[in-house]
Amino acid sequence: MLKNFLESRLGKWKRLEDLTTRASRLRLSNLSGKEVREFGQLYRRTAADLAIAREEVRDQRLVNYLNHLVGRAHGAIYRSESSGFGVFVTFLRYEFPAVFRKTFLYTLTAFLIFISSAAFASVACVLDEGFADRIAPQLRQDITNHHNWTESVNKANPLASTSIQTNNITVTFIAFAGGVLAGIATVLVLIQNGLLLGMVLSLCFRYRFWDVPIFVSAHGVIELTAIFIAGGAGLLIGKALLMPGDLRRIDALVENGRLAIKLILGCIPMLLIAGLIEGFISPAHIPAAYKFSISAMSALLLAMYFLKADRRTPS
């Protein structure tokens, strides 16, 4: 029995040894997606073989070998899963872009809600400037008088940067958390911010007041992208509550909630970067071309980041 057992299993054990050595040295993130799945299957199979060896084969040398192999494989898995910083880096490198692509239609929906609101406010202000007073009357006065309120940011960069980051994170998390109200709050915050941006840009173009659009240009791409992603996360949760499909509502909520949490976690570094740009670069007295260049570069880097190939996915 021992001979047959060894002949049928030895190749798989050797393969597990090889994958375990690589995972122990380089962590699971350096294995392809196919290899990670193979590693898990071989680990479970070898653990079952260990039980068989103990109960039926009863060869102590074989039991010791399998026990050591299973222990090493378990250690490689546990070390890879428990390394906090490594997990965060792997998440940003692979998981966040992958989840973004998987849930892109929700992010696109959030974008369309926002941009439709902005377009509506822009057209409404062209037809009736008084519409702006229903959104933010003080801003209308500042724009018509060419009062550049962004100068206050330039006078206290560190404090302003912290305040801006707090505000950006608050808006983003409201868009995300609004999903628990069947997505209603998510839609409302997207509409509210879309109306505000559309109104401001419409009036700025009407009165040739370029300071504010130039100010927004440097950080706007990253900041708005994070808000759209967070809005998509909120819509994911709202869909699970309203339209769970073939799943039970609680199961749909768990599944979509897991994806939504990954999306919102990925937004945090984006908001920190946007906040730093908004606090230090956007209000700086530098040529507008530099700020527009940062905007274009941000868009390009985001596209490359979210569309880059996932090395963990088998070809």
Structure tokens at 108: 């696109």
Cα 123 to Cα 120, 140, 195, 209, distances in angstroms: 5, 15, 11, 18
At residue 300, does pLDDT exceed 70? yes
- Mean of the per-residue pLDDT values for the chain? 84
Q: CB atoms < 10 A from the CB of 8, how many? A: 10
Q: State the chain's maximal CA–CA distance in angstroms.
A: 92
By C-alpha distance, which of 182, 197, 258 is closest to 227? 197
pLDDT at residue number 35: 78
Cα 52 to Cα 57, 69, 148, distances in angstroms: 7, 15, 77
Q: Under a CB-based contact definition with an 8 Å cutoff, are residues 295 and 217 in contact?
A: yes
At residue 157, does pLDDT exceed 60? no
> Apex CA 91: angle with CA 89 and CA 94, to 5°?
105
pLDDT at residue number 106: 97
pLDDT band at 315 (very low <50, low <70, confident <90, very high): very low
DSSP 120-138: HHHHHHHH-GGGGGGT-HH
- pLDDT tens by residue, 69-119: 888 888 776 665 545 566 778 788 888 999 999 999 999 999 999 999 999
Q: How far apart are the first and last CA of the chain?
A: 39
- pLDDT tens by residue, 160-189: 555 556 667 788 888 888 888 889 999 999
H/E run at residue 232: helix 211-242
Q: Which backbone phi and psi does 117 adopt, to 5 degrees?
A: -65, -40
Task: Give buried/exposed letters for 59-76 (b at 16+ CB in 10 A, else e).
Answer: beebeeebeebbebbeeb
pLDDT band at 312 (very low <50, low <70, confident <90, very high): low
Cα 259 to Cα 132, 213, 246, 310, distances in angstroms: 37, 34, 18, 17
- pLDDT tens by residue, 187-204: 999 999 999 999 999 999
Average pLDDT over residues 246-268: 91
Share of the chain above pLDDT 70, in %: 84
- pLDDT tens by residue, 10-45: 888 888 888 888 776 656 656 676 777 888 888 888
At residue 126, does pLDDT exceed 70? yes
pLDDT at residue number 313: 46
Q: What percent of the residues of the chain are helix, what percent strand, and what percent coil, each to the nearest 5?
A: 85, 0, 15
Tokens 């309120």 correspond to 149
At residue 215, does pLDDT exceed 50? yes
